[in-house]
Structure 1
Amino acid sequence: MPNRLATESSPYLRQHAENPVDWYPWGTEAFERARAEQRPILLSVGYAACHWCHVMAHESFEDADTAALMNALFVNVKVDREERPDVDAIYMQAVQALTGQGGWPMTVVLTPDGTPYWGGTYFPKDDRHGMPSFTRVIQAVANAYRDQPDAIARTTDAMRALYANSSRPAGPSGTVDAALLERAFAQLATRYDRPLGGFTGAPKFPQTMALDFCLRWHARSGDALALEIAHRSFVAMGRGGLFDQIGGGFARYSTDAEWLVPHFEKMLYDNALLVRLGVHLWQVTRDEEVRRITEATIRWLAREMTLANGGFASSLDADSEGVEGKFYVWTAHELDAVLADDAAIARAYWRVQPGGNFEGHSILHVPVAPALVAARLGLPEAQLRSTIERASGALLTVREQRVRPGLDDKVLAGWNALMARALADAARVWHDPAVRALAVRNATLLRDRLVNADGRVTRVLSGTHGPSIGPGFLEDHAAVALAFLSIHELTLDPAWLHHARRVADAMRLHFFDEGTVAWYDTPSDGEVLITRVRELNDNATPAGPSLALEVMLRFGELDGNTAARSEPLTAMTALAEPMSKWPNAFGYLLGVAQLAIDGAVAVALIGDPDSAGIQALAAAVAEQYLPTLVLASTGGETASAALLEGRAAIGGTATAHVCRNFRCAMPVTDAATLLQQLCTPLAVT
């Protein structure tokens, strides 16, 4: 018989609806029962694409004996971390404090008031490899709650103190200036894996936000190593097994240092951040391999992740038919059978050999630069490329007949907004109408289904036809506002500027505390939890406060508000020392700091957005990598930002005004002169 999770909106929670565990969703019902019966709460947190979440579910939560023990000892609560990042963040902080590490599945035991007193991650069904069995662990934890109240009280007191300390805004730890950016890059460079790309260690994550900062630092300083780190790392990931060589899109991370063996789940947010990085790398390098990787990822998004309503699904599972990676791997025999005359070239390109490189199969990867492969085969590189494109298409057709990994089709506002912003950049830079349509359609869905009349953002749209549920968090509001600004830059339609401002105003009203001058991840009128979450460092996605500071800075530039630049700089001083010491954890904020330090390259385009003149000027702006670009257009309507006020079209001709530090150069009407202004310091008037 299905449990209480059967009616939940989350695909992850519904995966557990047939468990014999008496699961509750997060909510008052579970806590009321725990208080009434004085039982501890066993909180299990995971997400739909999590491989080890599936393993623990199969081993323990689907086992009748284990479930009976859980039901006898605890009130059991299941949470989708993607729907409730606040709950996940609160209890992950506890697990990391208690054990020194974290991850998913996350298992935490709470007192009936929600205070954690024990936590961990994955536990096997039986004792193995030095790990205690899940049943042995939960029996011990339940016994401690019953028999050792003083010890439990000491732990819960320590947890409450931890939360109290972490919620207090810190004082300044340094100055946010160009010297900080230089120190942060120097620290990043010490961890650069020069032979393999990325940063040293395994497992190896893309760390896209740190790579983005390297690219920004190169644009600011001309540092060749900074460009090498960003470019070499992106290409290495794109040639590795981390990247789906057949269908496009990046997996979550590589289990090794060589980018070969991925954890096969594909997450929307990773690919959003990597698409945007790829577009910007191409602007700097004009490397066609970077463009192919990026465009292949966009095609994957359109083919496999785009729902009928224009929303983007959250993730693709790592497993199919209960086996991790089965959907993606090949044997040499399969390539020979599918590719016929192209097989020998394809096997050499992807280094597919008998026996494979992963559990008897091969993860396709490109271990040698394509030009070198072509030289070894005695082929022109163009012929190699056309052969590989033909082979990829044939293999993709065959692969589509396999049992597909599970799709988590919930639409998350913040993650969709990150992707819409990346697509808007791609469409603007590459003048691609199909990508433009994909971006605008997604942003329109966000506007119509997930943004209320007062600018409040809802977190989740459940599937293609489901309801909008759950109040949005800081990251949702900030990412949506930034996406709408990017759609305005793409379409030059001033309506998107209005939509962005509406969301930004709601964000400040509900997430900024004037007293502590701090941004919080949860709204002031949201559910009261054991602490109010305030995540300052990047995780898999940019930290909400970092995104919010960028929104404020961009609107400050649009509105000619110098105070809007000083406030974020002051807010960042508390993190000045951590940013320089641990830049991998603050990559996005370092980019925001650069915008605050240098100010924007602000461009106002005046004229009909559909006219050839405006399109030529917009194309000139898109030619350059301008990491602090702020672009606005009246679209023929009344100015909606100070940057646009008083700007005129010279002689009725489409005109561009370029400004830095709230001072503007002479207006121009031709693309060549505009390019020159963008590339050189302004002669201000």
Structure 2
Amino acid sequence: MNLLSQETSPYLLQHANNPVHWKAWNTNSLDEAKEKNSLIVISIGYSACHWCHVMEHESFEDQEVADVMNTNFVNIKVDREERPDVDAVYMKAIQLMTRRGGWPLNVVTLPDGRPIWGGTYFRKEEWIQTLGQLQEVYLSNPEKVIDYAEKLHEGIQLLSIIENKKSETTVNQEDLIPLVEKWKEDFDWEFGGMSRSPKFMMPNNYHFLLRFAFQKNDMKLFDFVNLTLTRMAYGGIFDTVDGGFSRYSVDNKWHVPHFEKMLYDNGQLISLYSDAFKLTKKPLYKEVIEKTISFVERELMNPEGGFYCALDADSLNPENHLEEGAFYVWKIPELKTIIGDDFDLFSQVFNINTFGLWEDGNYVLIQNKSLDEIAKNNNITLSTLQKKKLFWEQILYIKREKRSKPRLDDKCLTSWNAIMLKGFVDAYKALENENYLVLALKNANFIIKNLWSNEGNLFHNYKNEKSTINGYLEDYCFVISAFISLYEVTFDEKWLHYAKQLTDYSLEHFYDEKSGFFAFTSNLDEALITSHFETEDNVIPASNSVMGKNLFLLSIYFENSYYEKVSQRMLQNIMPNIQYPSAYSNWMDLTLNYSEQNKELAICGESALVYCSKINALYFPNVVLAGTKKVSTLSFLKDRFVADQTLFYLCQNRTCLTPTDDFQKIVSNLI
């Protein structure tokens, strides 16, 4: 029987009424396969995944398919967001077998979980035929199947091995220059991003490139990042009506998105646009930040201060069928009725023309000219056009709210909540909107209350007042990072002590001394078929690269040489092996922390928070900031507080200048 109705994951619950006898990933399901000596079908996806829905409708809702699966296999459904460890292991297997990956991810394994075959999306007939062939071979020639599984398993394990060179060499800043030059060869100088489609936003890539351009005074690179952020904000991938970004664009001009909206994308993009706004003061970037935060607060925030995961790509169309993007697209007759006499001007702004046409008469709103240019072409003032655009978006929002909304994935994940928490903090730094800090603190307290156990471990998930999955490295690294960022705006040292507590727990339960890296899963969890060490930055930075940056910062705050040693050793093992810079941008960002431009600033005195806000509103990615309004025992601040004065201590390479009360002098020395 199908047991998924007992689960809380929205993705698993979507499959609870399938005729397939689905089980969740747990000890009982795996033990049953061993007892029956049965092959296992492991099908992995997530609730907002369009092609997961397609395969469900074509195959998993079909009784003929279910009969084949139920007769011969133990069938396990996995929410990749709840079990990223399982997803990572079998994604490696798929990539070894097919040289590509994606979701839905479907593998068939031996009873012990070692894979023998897999792929992504399959049509019904191909799925049935393949399962039948696999079962026949397994029964008639099990030795052949087991031999293949053993060889594939060896390959998966080899992928997990990271060579620990135990190098003591210093981090060489010059190594970054050829990597960035190589990277530039893939730039799309017309629409921004990389010269390919589909286009993923990859916020961490542009976070690094923006910093590199700033610190190296590379104006051409800065222009490219600015082009990319502008084009993404103009594109249909950004929902100008309601705020928030979709997961990726299927084309090269950021026009037609894969319409799901993910929490982790939006959290990182708020941080990225906040940094870019500090440098440029570009009104478009402020608009993106404010709209995206409003969207998250309105659609993805629960009453307790936690953030939900995602909105689905699919929604009900006028014929009441699930269709990708139905909630978001527009047709000309409807737009003419809504916009009225301004339709021609509206069409110029949002390209209701061949440039903005998607398919089947549907338009996805996209800009390709600035409002200033359009205003001049139409002999109207910029302020008039800005007011009109705001009004159009408001009436479109009201109209769209009457449509059937995309389905909500209402579970909370610790790692993604922490990413969004940091987004709120970064937006507060850039825009100084107090409400953003209030919401960030509310979310931090939600994490502490619901996702941090009395035993010291984090949980990964939360729904219906329950947390059931032990935390992964991604949960620890992002919560630590978010807590450090809270310290940077509040100077409340409890956030640093929380970060240190979680770091020490991570070193005890995740750190592998032999490899010099952190495993993805805790040593308290039941082992999978192979260990997983996440080192490549993707749409979310690798948990090891984030830990490397955390350790670097905490080594300064607490003057902890061991933290620095672990961070530096990871970086030294990664940097010589980089072939694709885009997959290691967070490591490259960490490399910049070891440059001569990196500095530490302590602000001590009654006015510490006033100057803290001033510093945070400026773009200084090379500065580690600390401060206090009273006597502090924090190692970096010890003996630096002087009553009735506000003093600035600027340090570099553990050497500090004479303290000063001249703020402008300090700012001029930070660059």
**Number of the residue aligned with 1:307:** 302
Label 1:295 to 1:338 Cα distance change in 2 as closer, same or farther (>3 A).
same
How far does residue 563 in structure 1 lie from its aligned partner after superposition? Answer: 5.1
Q: TM-score, normalised by structure 2?
A: 0.95
Equivalent pairs: percent with the same residue? 33
Query: 1:510, 1:554 → 2: CA distance?
Result: 21
Q: Deviations over 1:539-562 (max 9, x none)?
A: 221111111111110101112345
Query: 2:519, 2:220 → 1: CA distance?
Result: 36
Matched, 1:658 2:646: no
Q: Deviations over 1:220-256 (max 9, x none)?
A: 2111122122211111111011111211111111111
Deviates more, 1:468-477 or 1:29-38: 29-38
Show structure 2 runs of 5+ residues with no match: 317-321
How far does residue 365 in structure 1 lie from its aligned partner after superposition? Answer: 0.7
How far does residue 163 in structure 1 lie from its aligned partner after superposition? Answer: 2.9
Label 1:144 to 1:219 Cα distance change in 2 as closer, same or farther (>3 A).
same
Contact 1:241–1:260 (CA under 8 A) maintained in structure 2? yes
**Number of the residue aligned with 1:293:** 288
How far does residue 533 in structure 1 lie from its aligned partner after superposition? Answer: 1.1
Query: 1:325, 1:486 → 2: CA distance?
Result: 35
**Number of the residue aligned with 1:363:** 364
- Supply the AA of the counterpart residue of 2:333: H
How far does residue 616 in structure 1 lie from its aligned partner after superposition? Answer: 2.9
- Supply the AA of the counterpart residue of 1:96: Q
Matched, 1:570 2:562: no
Contact 2:277–2:430 (CA under 8 A) maintained in structure 1? no
**Number of the residue aligned with 1:129:** none
SS of structure 1 residue aligned to 2:189: coil
Label 1:203 to 1:356 Cα distance change in 2 as closer, same or farther (>3 A).
closer
Q: 1:242-321 to 2 correspondence within 5 Å?
A: 242-321=237-316
SS of structure 2 residue aligned to 1:469: coil
Contact 1:617–1:656 (CA under 8 A) maintained in structure 2? no
Deviates more, 1:168-177 or 1:340-349: 168-177
Query: 1:180, 1:275 → 2: CA distance?
Result: 29
Q: 1:464-503 to 2 correspondence within 5 Å?
A: 465-503=464-502
How far does residue 584 in structure 1 lie from its aligned partner after superposition? Answer: 0.8
Q: Deviations over 1:554-580 (max 9, x none)?
A: 10111234554343222222222333x
Q: Deviations over 1:410-441 (max 9, x none)?
A: 11111110111121011022110111111111
How far does residue 145 in structure 1 lie from its aligned partner after superposition? Answer: 1.7
**Number of the residue aligned with 1:445:** 446
Q: 1:159-178 to 2 correspondence within 5 Å?
A: 159-172=152-165, 176-178=171-173
Contact 2:548–2:568 (CA under 8 A) maintained in structure 1? no
How far does residue 171 in structure 1 lie from its aligned partner after superposition? Answer: 4.2
Q: Deviations over 1:196-224 (max 9, x none)?
A: 10011111111221111111111221111
**Number of the residue aligned with 1:415:** 416
**Number of the residue aligned with 1:672:** 664
Contact 1:175–1:576 (CA under 8 A) maintained in structure 2? no
SS of structure 2 residue aligned to 1:657: strand
Q: 1:374-385 to 2 correspondence within 5 Å?
A: 374-385=375-386
**Number of the residue aligned with 1:198:** 193
Show structure 1 runs of 5+ residues with no match: 127-132, 680-685
SS of structure 2 residue aligned to 1:642: coil
Contact 1:332–1:347 (CA under 8 A) maintained in structure 2? no
SS of structure 2 residue aligned to 1:76: strand
SS of structure 2 residue aligned to 1:309: coil
Contact 1:411–1:460 (CA under 8 A) maintained in structure 2? yes
Deviates more, 1:421-430 or 1:348-357: 348-357
Q: 1:144 aligns with which of 137, 142, 155?
A: 137
Q: 1:232-247 to 2 correspondence within 5 Å?
A: 232-247=227-242
How far does residue 603 in structure 1 lie from its aligned partner after superposition? Answer: 2.2
How far does residue 504 in structure 1 lie from its aligned partner after superposition? Answer: 1.4
**Number of the residue aligned with 1:589:** 587
**Number of the residue aligned with 2:319:** none
- Supply the AA of the counterpart residue of 2:612: A
How far does residue 356 in structure 1 lie from its aligned partner after superposition? Answer: 3.7
How far does residue 181 in structure 1 lie from its aligned partner after superposition? Answer: 1.3
How far does residue 33 in structure 1 lie from its aligned partner after superposition? Answer: 1.6
- Supply the AA of the counterpart residue of 1:169: I
**Number of the residue aligned with 1:333:** 333
**Number of the residue aligned with 1:130:** none
Deviates more, 1:329-338 or 1:470-479: 329-338
Contact 1:493–1:635 (CA under 8 A) maintained in structure 2? no
Q: 1:369-408 to 2 correspondence within 5 Å?
A: 369-408=370-409
Q: Deviations over 1:155-178 (max 9, x none)?
A: 211122113323333144997411
Query: 2:466, 2:413 → 1: CA distance?
Result: 12
**Number of the residue aligned with 2:107:** 108
**Number of the residue aligned with 1:436:** 437
How far does residue 637 in structure 1 lie from its aligned partner after superposition? Answer: 5.6
- Supply the AA of the counterpart residue of 1:326: A
SS of structure 1 residue aligned to 2:78: strand
Contact 1:349–1:366 (CA under 8 A) maintained in structure 2? yes
Contact 2:201–2:539 (CA under 8 A) maintained in structure 1? no
Query: 1:36, 1:367 → 2: CA distance?
Result: 61
How far does residue 296 in structure 1 lie from its aligned partner after superposition? Answer: 1.4
SS of structure 1 residue aligned to 2:108: strand
Query: 1:240, 1:656 → 2: CA distance?
Result: 43
**Number of the residue aligned with 1:647:** 640
Query: 2:34, 2:381 → 1: CA distance?
Result: 73
**Number of the residue aligned with 2:545:** 546
How far does residue 42 in structure 1 lie from its aligned partner after superposition? Answer: 0.2
Matched, 1:629 2:623: yes
Label 1:307 to 1:635 Cα distance change in 2 as closer, same or farther (>3 A).
farther
Label 1:115 to 1:413 Cα distance change in 2 as closer, same or farther (>3 A).
same
Matched, 1:69 2:68: yes
Query: 2:95, 2:660 → 1: CA distance?
Result: 56
Q: Deviations over 1:627-679 (max 9, x none)?
A: 2332223353632x311111123x51333322222222232335323322323
Label 1:418 to 1:139 Cα distance change in 2 as closer, same or farther (>3 A).
same
RMSD: 1.9
Query: 2:333, 2:3 → 1: CA distance?
Result: 47
Query: 1:607, 1:51 → 2: CA distance?
Result: 54
Query: 2:629, 2:341 → 1: CA distance?
Result: 54
- Supply the AA of the counterpart residue of 2:343: A
- Supply the AA of the counterpart residue of 2:450: R
Deviates more, 1:82-91 or 1:381-390: 381-390
How far does residue 141 in structure 1 lie from its aligned partner after superposition? Answer: 2.0
Query: 1:453, 1:333 → 2: CA distance?
Result: 59
- Supply the AA of the counterpart residue of 2:192: G
Q: TM-score, normalised by structure 1?
A: 0.93
SS of structure 2 residue aligned to 1:109: strand
Contact 1:44–1:106 (CA under 8 A) maintained in structure 2? yes
Q: 1:54-93 to 2 correspondence within 5 Å?
A: 54-93=53-92
How far does residue 397 in structure 1 lie from its aligned partner after superposition? Answer: 1.2
Q: Deviations over 1:255-287 (max 9, x none)?
A: 111111110011111111111110111112221
Deviates more, 1:301-310 or 1:592-601: 592-601
Query: 1:623, 1:4 → 2: CA distance?
Result: 52
Query: 2:452, 2:629 → 1: CA distance?
Result: 23
Query: 2:485, 2:170 → 1: CA distance?
Result: 30
SS of structure 1 residue aligned to 2:636: helix
SS of structure 2 residue aligned to 1:541: coil
**Number of the residue aligned with 2:35:** 36
What is the total number of aligned residue pairs between the two structures?
663
Label 1:429 to 1:637 Cα distance change in 2 as closer, same or farther (>3 A).
farther
Deviates more, 1:586-595 or 1:567-576: 567-576
Label 1:665 to 1:620 Cα distance change in 2 as closer, same or farther (>3 A).
farther
Label 1:348 to 1:516 Cα distance change in 2 as closer, same or farther (>3 A).
closer
SS of structure 1 residue aligned to 2:469: strand
**Number of the residue aligned with 2:602:** 604
- Supply the AA of the counterpart residue of 1:426: A
